[in-house]
Structure 1
Amino acid sequence: MTAVEDPAKPDAGLYLVGTPIGNLGDITVRALEVLRSADLILAEDTRITRRLLDRYDIHAPMWSYHKFNEAGRIDPVLDRLRGGAVVALVTDSGMPGVSDPGARMVRACREAEIPITAAPGPSAVATAIALAGLDETAFVFGGFPPVKPGKRKKALARLLAAGCPVVVYESPYRVTKLLKDVQTLCPDADVFVARELTKKFEETGWKTVEGWLDAFATKEPRGEFALIIQSHQEALSTTAFEREEDKSENPSAPCG
């Protein structure tokens, strides 16, 4: 008779747990098993994670873990892990370490030779790519672009230089500014917008970059955005790219 693993208690170690990107029903059975068994849950925002835990009647203790306190959390968490604890790391949505806190803890655990396991879950990147219907198999992911205008335009220029679709995240407060930068760099671009993915007011669709700017001029953007930027010309030229590197204020750096 084949032995069946008992899912009730995972082995000691750090568990990177994927959480829903909007709809609380989008969590895996395995993720729930890990969270229920955890001796400690590290949460980017304990208030957001508490809503998820309450939904599934999970009562594990939580510590906050975010970019402002992670340096001070590393050693206490390593002590717990060395003592045989099951520690789950979650962010507000999606996978830890993907445009979210987590990478620093993972590196510390690897250096300490502590086991690390992923209980994967939803991804806004993969969801947006699937909904966009892209023919290409290659794309580049830029996460959240920098907030400062000059750095944001430089970052976009670097991403667009790859010559394949670019996926980025953006808040409703800066999405119009980002689209204006895209229009400056690649005025021919089509943009797929995925807004409020998996939530009640989810919106997805393709428009030209100009089309989205017109749309947001009449209707204020709301919710969190994943955008896919696709140019129909060649990759951002070396000359244009260098201009963006040297002069972030440069008003015109077209594609091609």
Structure 2
Amino acid sequence: MNIQKSFADAAASGVGSLYLVATPIGNLEDMTFRAIRTLKEVQLIAAEDTRQTRKLLTHFEIPTRIVSYHEHNKRASGPELVRLLLEGQSIALVSDAGLPAISDPGADLVKEAIENDIPVIPIPGANAALSALIISGLPTDRFLFAGFPPREKKSLTKWLQEMQGQAGTLLFYESPHRISKTLVILGEVLGDRQIACIRELTKRHEEAIRGTISECIDWFEEHPPQGEFCVVVEGAGGIGASEQPAAVIWWKDLDLAAHVAHYEEQYDRKEAIKRAALDRGLPKRDVYNEVNRG
């Protein structure tokens, strides 16, 4: 068990703090006053792309030293950053854009810091997925962020099948070079649901394309996609989703125990319970208690 008091532990223990600092996703005016102050006050900034981050630091006149921390060097850099934190230095972690530790190696550094009783403090700011969600026109009360989809068709199909029964809105990122192909498979697996394809968030060419999957496919045939996309997809309980064949929700005829057992063929019990809970929109604890009753 780990209990963190963000603004007391560091002073009492002599260790530094790891700050997760949000950076702009396009418009530099999205940088917060607190983020700028934090980047000036820490001893070190760990960046996914030092060249990109250096431009940001130059713009806001931030002189703090910067080091590289990314997917390909995290095994070497992570322990070194933890060592510096344990020695009392505070470090800010930033990604190329938006919140760090979401679909990037920052999550591994956060885990290492927590395992070493180092305070991890969020400095909130811009986030592409949530920004896309709130302008999509689709339900926002329940959603699943799925990151980046697999590149291969077979893997992508399986990835989507695992989410086809999700009641909540789905969010994922996609590149302009792949989005048309991804939408075709999306329609094949999930049916012709309502979606929003939102590109260039906060930038000059910000654009939201809303409609059914088939309508968006037709749109991109006439208007070649440009810029990075966040795709927001209606959940299984929506209007478009309800028009799908009942077989799309593969687990509908299974009781809860059989649903969990299906996933246990591929995953351990904890993960199987988690996935069944996500499918059904239930708390994990409820699923756990039900399948372990008696």
Give the TM bin, normalised by the shorter chain. 0.7 to 0.9
Partner AA of 1:16 in structure 2: L
Q: Could you say which residue in structure 1 is the equivalent of 2:71?
A: 67
Residue correspondences, number? 234
Q: Deviations over 1:46-103 (max 9, x none)?
A: 1111111111011211111111111111121112111211100000111111112211
Q: 1:203-214 residue pairs with structure 2 within 5 A? A: 203-214=207-218
Partner AA of 2:23 in structure 1: T
Partner AA of 1:90 in structure 2: V
Q: Could you say which residue in structure 2 is the equivalent of 1:151?
A: 155
Q: 1:124-163 residue pairs with structure 2 within 5 A? A: 124-163=128-167
Equivalent of 2:206, from 173, 180, 202? Answer: 202
- Verify: 1:233 aligned to 2:247, yes or no: no
Q: Deviations over 1:191-227 (max 9, x none)?
A: 1011000001000131211111112112221111001
The alpha-carbon deviation at position 136 of structure 1 amounts to 4.7
Q: Deviations over 1:14-37 (max 9, x none)?
A: 101011111111011111111011
Looking at structure 2, the residues matched to 76 and 239 of structure 1 have their Cα atoms a distance apart, in angstroms, of: 46
The two structures have a TM-score, normalised by structure 1, of 0.85
Partner AA of 2:72 in structure 1: F
**SS of 1:238 mapped into structure 2:** coil
- Verify: 1:122 aligned to 2:134, yes or no: no
- Asked if structure 2 preserves the Cα contact closer than 8 Å seen for 1:39 and 1:60, the reply is yes
**SS of 1:72 mapped into structure 2:** helix
Partner AA of 1:55 in structure 2: H
Q: Could you say which residue in structure 2 is the equivalent of 1:35?
A: 39
Higher helix share goes to which structure?
Answer: 2
Q: Percent identity?
A: 37
Higher relative contact order (CA 8 A, sep 6+): 1
Q: 1:165-184 residue pairs with structure 2 within 5 A? A: 165-184=169-188
- Verify: 1:82 aligned to 2:94, yes or no: no
The two structures have a TM-score, normalised by structure 2, of 0.75
Name the Cα RMSD after superposition: 2.2
Partner AA of 1:36 in structure 2: K
Looking at structure 2, the residues matched to 186 and 155 of structure 1 have their Cα atoms a distance apart, in angstroms, of: 11
Partner AA of 2:146 in structure 1: G
Looking at structure 1, the residues matched to 139 and 166 of structure 2 have their Cα atoms a distance apart, in angstroms, of: 16
Partner AA of 2:241 in structure 1: Q
- Asked if structure 2 preserves the Cα contact closer than 8 Å seen for 1:160 and 1:166, the reply is no
Looking at structure 1, the residues matched to 231 and 46 of structure 2 have their Cα atoms a distance apart, in angstroms, of: 29
Q: Could you say which residue in structure 2 is the equivalent of 1:8?
A: none
Looking at structure 2, the residues matched to 158 and 100 of structure 1 have their Cα atoms a distance apart, in angstroms, of: 22
Looking at structure 2, the residues matched to 100 and 111 of structure 1 have their Cα atoms a distance apart, in angstroms, of: 19
Partner AA of 2:134 in structure 1: A
What stretches of structure 1 of length at least 5 have no aligned partner? 6-10, 247-256
